[in-house]
Structure 1
Amino acid sequence: MMREKRREELSVTVPNLFRCPISMDVMKSPVSLCTGVTYDRSSIEKWLALGHKTCPATMQTLPSTLTTPNLTLRRLIQLWLSHTDPTQAPPSCAVSKQEAAVIIKGEVDAASLEKLIDFMKASEGNLKFVAHSSSAIPRFVEFFAESDEIRIRELIVEVFDLISSENGARERLNELILNCADCLSSFATVLRKGNTESKVKSAKILELIALNPESEHRIADEPGVLQNLFNLTAAENDTSAVEAGLSALLAVATSRPARKDLIRFGIVRTVGRILSTPDPARGVVERALAVLETVATCTEGRGAIAEKGECVAEIVKRLMKCSGAATEHGIAVVWSVCCLARDELAQETVAGVNGLTKVLVVMQSDCSASTRQMCRELVKVLRAKSSKSNLAPYETRTTHIAPY
């Protein structure tokens, strides 16, 4: 009876915002899904572990199963608990600053790293304490390079990800990673063996440290890095993983050998699959087309794109359908294969999916001068392939077509 009475009191006094939608208990570690709904970490992890791919509260399909700590709500819950029942109030974080300093200077294991990560997430002050510690970044870079345990590496990647948000500390982190002989190979290992969250964060860090041609080449030349970043773009059920992989490839695959490697891996086929998805995320489409534009700067890339006629067709279909940036990347790719490479099969493919009309529409839009010039050259090439079009007699500089 007392337990039932206590439960009734809680149901009245606990704000609904503080309750986990799954367990209905006060959340101890609130985390948010990409849908914006917040759950207690243990509850949502059990839900996802059962194979569910939906948000329990909204039943929306999850493009990403990554969770983000809701630190604001966590502090509100702690404040509420301290006022309602001080005996139930959890500590602000698992360790004190003194204990955090001991972890930084001592031997690293998974348990201590998890405590330190909780400490860093608990407040901005705690994050700054670790990020600007004189010994923290060098020690973690060293452990990251030397550890053979994938779990240790996953946790250190999370530490790096948190530190990278701090100006000053970010630059020091970048420098130390690039100057550490085995650090890049450790990232390759995490990209190959780590969980999805650590793979995404590794891709973001690699993108962050690709500051100049020298660093870009060093990252791209590290065995396994390009291959595993490419593999990340094939994560069909995780939009954040695909986007992170594409962004990192854009940053590091800048040399001709790197672009040739991407072609060999099958980047054209992968981008074609992404573009053919019924409703791909805007960021994914923009980055996918940008990667394809990069690949199209070499002869092998133009050949591979032209050979995949379905990919060319999907690019044309996406023109003016996503964003201005995506359209300009798409035009650059189509121009590369139709005008630069003069590939007749690609020209016929573009003409066959109403490409002439779409190019004319793009040309009349608020696009860059270089894109408009590419459109003019495309129109000249496509007119010969579009014999059924009634647009051929008109001067491309003055023709205005209402958007369809």
Structure 2
Amino acid sequence: MLANFFNSELINNDYDISFSYVYSIPYSMGFQKRVHKKTTVHPLSFINLSDHTILPSWLPLISRKLLMGIARLVISIPLLTYQTIVLYQLFKKIKPDVLHINNGGYPAAKSARAAAIAGKFASIPKIIMVVNNMAVGYNHYSRWFDYPIDRLVVHSVSMFITGSKAASERLRKVLSLPIQQTHAIHNGITLRDSTSTITETRKRLNLDRFDGVVFGVVALLIPRKGHQILLNAVLELIQEKKMIGNTFKVLIEGDGFLRETLISFVTQNKLEQFVTFVGEEANVVDFMNAIDILILPSIQDEDFPNVILEAMALGKPVIASRLAGTPEQVIDGVTGFLVAPRDAKQLAEAMHTLILNQQLREQMGKMASTEFSTHFTTQIALNNYSDLYTKLIKESQ
């Protein structure tokens, strides 16, 4: 969404924008590559206490992580204070009417919390904090020390913005927020361009002679994405539904530390003709263009996955776990199916229904495309943010 903000004619015409961020070479290069409008930037140099690679490589990995953990505990408050002072000085200089803080999942970056506190001290009229994932509660001891800082942040922020209603409800619960201090604005996307035709991509993926139904997964090969549940569902389709090899295929895009474990499971259960690991695709849009249905079998830690929006934009039905914000994206039985997380039988049933019903697949794909155009484009999201800015500025006058 940040790149969409900076590239937007609407936002640039109505507002004078500057961008402050924690400097790193990869981040700066990514910003320059994706942002085409001239934007005033304020790179800031802050210590990153989550990056154990800055310690000597001759130290064992466990030692580096332990030292970083101790460092975070010891200098957390001094570092937050330093960041707050630096940001306070910046904000007093540029005097914004609205401070828009883009955060990860709460609590996420210390600099984001420092920005909220600094903005309050600098008397910025309106401060919004965007929380892009489900907030973490105080169940674990690592969050206990955050509580006083969180109260400062809550006191500083005018409005918390989340990508889904589910994330808003979670944030209100964690931070004990009044309902009027949160607002959900669905993310919007601009679909990336294709670089290959569907025919070319299907040939590269060895699908040019396959006329069955192709399911695709686009996700890191890590536990929370639920690939093992999907493989269990494939077994269910073969053993209980008696599906044969030319009926469907599952293409798994992405990489991660579970790759060898998942491949081993496929081999041991003789699923090679049903499941293919394609690695990381250079252009995910090409990959999704070539499949018939997207599956996202996540089991936890999702919010409002962009990959679902991309599939909808391409007119693909989606089968997703009923988790966090996915029910706000997928209309169950209309644009796809929602299934219970970790429920391989229910996932297999949804897959089986779509394998057997071409008309339903086509109908769901058309409805998904319509739903995307109506609710989830970049322009719709930008209009919603612009309306919010206008409202907040009027309130502060």
TM-score, length-normalised on structure 1? 0.26
The structure where helix makes up a greater share of residues is 1
Higher relative contact order, chain-length normalized (CA < 8 Å, sep 6+): 2
TM-score, length-normalised on structure 2? 0.26
The structure where strand makes up a greater share of residues is 2
